[in-house]
Homo-oligomer: A and B are copies of this chain.
Amino acid sequence: MKKNILFASFLTILFILSGCADIKNQKTIQPKAKYVFYFIGDGMGIGHVALTESYLASVNDTIGFNKLAMSDFPVMGLSTTYAENRLITGSAAAGTALATGSKTSIGTIGLASNHTDTLWSVAHYAKLAGYKVGILSSVSINHATPAAFYAHQPKRSMYYEIASEMIASNFDVFGGGGIDFYTGRNNDTTDIYLLLENAGYSSTKNRTQLNKLTTNNNKVIFTSNELTNSAALPYSIDQSDTSLNLADFTQKAIELLDNPNGFFMMIEGGKIDWAAHNNDGATVIQEVIDFDKAIKIALEFYKLHPNETLIVITADHETGGLSVGYDDTHYSSNLKILQNQKTSVEFFSDFLNNLIDSISVDKFNIDIALKTGQDFFGIDSLKPDEFEALNNAILDLKTAHNNQNQYANLNPIAVFWLETINNRAGIGWTTHSHSANPVPVRALGAWQELFDGYYDNTDIPKKIAQAMKVNML
């Protein structure tokens, strides 16, 4: 009898020790993150999400924030972004930090700042550990952020050399945007798409082809037939209803990568940054919404595998010094007028340049300029100081045109209308470059608690590797 009681007590104690200890040290028994989504909103700071969410409320005639899917995430962290040799980072150094966990110098991809030591990404180590890997972006797949996950080059501008490294990575899915300079800068080297096909990658360039891809396609590179400059997808604001977007590619990548050994996927919303470089508020909003749609696709997958899925959302840096608050509008704002902006400022600028070429610059006058503002920004009348600024922009346009100096970036009339609508909306920017302001990190799912607090961008891939039980050494 005593033996039995002793035995039962022994079992009891054993059970308590094992069971309770496991619950107490939950981290040691949590299943590893088998399915990982690593979302990088290029340039997406606090202000970009705030602008989008307060704009969405304004469109519904309410005051406040209509939260995006990403904003329901339970864990919020904050990350510093500085590079090894500059406080305000660039996408190459920041991408390398987010991919490899090491700081490097500005412009460097997947190498230490000595340009000799190779830095390997969490995607590389995940692949070695048996995970399938996908690298997606709305800009070209050899642009700095995606490049940092598979390439090792001293300069981010070495697009062809970067793209060549896709093959050696042996990653399973690449795509979204296309490959910039895929036949080299001088258009005289072997087509990278061809090299990828020779290496066993199925290549698709439109929705019909994309739809046909199955897990029988061993390795895949997919893109859209609507690529714009630099092999990027068009801005969301410029896309049609049938355009392939980041959410479409995310959906297909899940289908292709899902397997018993799990997957790691990096998905970049690359044009939030580009729109912010132009200080183009309405376009930023649509890019953030587009990025959030891709996140929603990951969320659907998470709901099927909540214990084994980890979704992390962050940014490589903040672009534009964006705040919902502007000196001239003081405490008021009118974000709703941004819905009147029809296209990105880049699209509008191209339109203007074509128009001016077709009618000749001499015939471009204030009436035409006013008409374009009405058509593209829904602005019907100007205040005297705005009117004067528009006239000055026309002078700038003509001077630049006559000097054969095709306005370095954007057409001055386009810039005028953009600034007018931003100013009236009450949006402020401090720069057309990046800022050093830290960026938020949002996390949901397996090991989400690792991402709480305030840390450096180099910590993020290490935390992801920890969640995946992948050794990064």
**CA A136 to CA B385, docked complex, whole Å:** 46
| B90-A331 in contact (CB<8A) | yes
- Judge whether A260 is part of the interface by a CB distance below 8 angstroms: no
- Chain B residues, CB < 8 A from A75: 452-453
Mask for A80-99, Cβ within 8 A of B = 1, else 0? 10111111101000000000
8 Å CB contact of A54 from B15, B47, B327, B436: B436
8 Å CB contact of A46 from B5, B46, B325, B330: B46
- Chain B residues, CB < 8 A from A19: 16, 20
- Chain B residues, CB < 8 A from A85: 63
Count of chain copies: 2
8 Å CB contact of A5 from B4, B106, B427: B4
- Chain B residues, CB < 8 A from A90: 331
- Judge whether A430 is part of the interface by a CB distance below 8 angstroms: yes
**CA A62 to CA B72, docked complex, whole Å:** 37
- Judge whether A393 is part of the interface by a CB distance below 8 angstroms: no
Which single residue of chain B is at the shortest CB-CB distance from A11? B12
- Judge whether A194 is part of the interface by a CB distance below 8 angstroms: no
Minimum CB–CB distance from A252 to chain B (whole Å) comes to: 29
Minimum CB–CB distance from A324 to chain B (whole Å) comes to: 4
| A429-B431 in contact (CB<8A) | no
Mask for A296-326, Cβ within 8 A of B = 1, else 0? 0000000000000000000000100111111
8 Å CB contact of A431 from B50, B80, B330: B330
**CA A326 to CA B434, docked complex, whole Å:** 9
- Judge whether A164 is part of the interface by a CB distance below 8 angstroms: no
- Chain B residues, CB < 8 A from A4: 1, 4-5
Mask for A36-78, Cβ within 8 A of B = 1, else 0? 0000000001110010001001100001110100011111111
**CA A1 to CA B445, docked complex, whole Å:** 48
Task: Say which size band chain A's interface belongs to.
Answer: 35 or more
Q: Give the most central of A72, A323, A333, A335: most B CB within 10 Å.
A: A323
| A431-B327 in contact (CB<8A) | yes
8 Å CB contact of A453 from B9, B76, B432: B76
| A434-B80 in contact (CB<8A) | no
- Judge whether A454 is part of the interface by a CB distance below 8 angstroms: yes
Mask for A421-434, Cβ within 8 A of B = 1, else 0? 00000111111111
**CA A324 to CA B87, docked complex, whole Å:** 9
| B86-A63 in contact (CB<8A) | yes
- Chain B residues, CB < 8 A from A327: 430-433
- Judge whether A177 is part of the interface by a CB distance below 8 angstroms: no
- Judge whether A234 is part of the interface by a CB distance below 8 angstroms: no
| A76-B326 in contact (CB<8A) | no
| B333-A87 in contact (CB<8A) | yes
Which single residue of chain B is at the shortest CB-CB distance from A328? B431
| A438-B331 in contact (CB<8A) | no
**CA A82 to CA B63, docked complex, whole Å:** 8
- Judge whether A100 is part of the interface by a CB distance below 8 angstroms: no
- Chain B residues, CB < 8 A from A84: 63
Which single residue of chain B is at the shortest CB-CB distance from A88? B331
| B440-A88 in contact (CB<8A) | no
- Chain B residues, CB < 8 A from A453: 73-76
| B46-A438 in contact (CB<8A) | yes
- Chain B residues, CB < 8 A from A323: 318, 321-323, 430-431, 435-437
- Chain B residues, CB < 8 A from A87: 54, 57-58, 63-64, 324, 333, 335
**CA A211 to CA B11, docked complex, whole Å:** 59
| B433-A73 in contact (CB<8A) | no
| B440-A78 in contact (CB<8A) | yes
| A330-B82 in contact (CB<8A) | no
- Judge whether A259 is part of the interface by a CB distance below 8 angstroms: no
- Chain B residues, CB < 8 A from A57: 87
**CA A90 to CA B436, docked complex, whole Å:** 26
- Judge whether A24 is part of the interface by a CB distance below 8 angstroms: yes
| A324-B437 in contact (CB<8A) | yes
Q: Give the most central of A11, A57, A64, A325: most B CB within 10 Å.
A: A325
| B437-A47 in contact (CB<8A) | yes
A74-B452, A327-B431, A427-B430 are known contacts; what are 6 more A-B pairs with Cβ within 8 Å? A46-B46, A46-B438, A88-B332, A325-B433, A325-B434, A428-B430
7 A–B contacts from the bound complex (CB under 8 Å): A16-B20, A318-B325, A322-B430, A325-B435, A330-B433, A331-B433, A428-B431
- The 4 A-B residue pairs with the shortest CB-CB distance, nearest first, are A428-B430, A325-B435, A321-B323, A12-B12
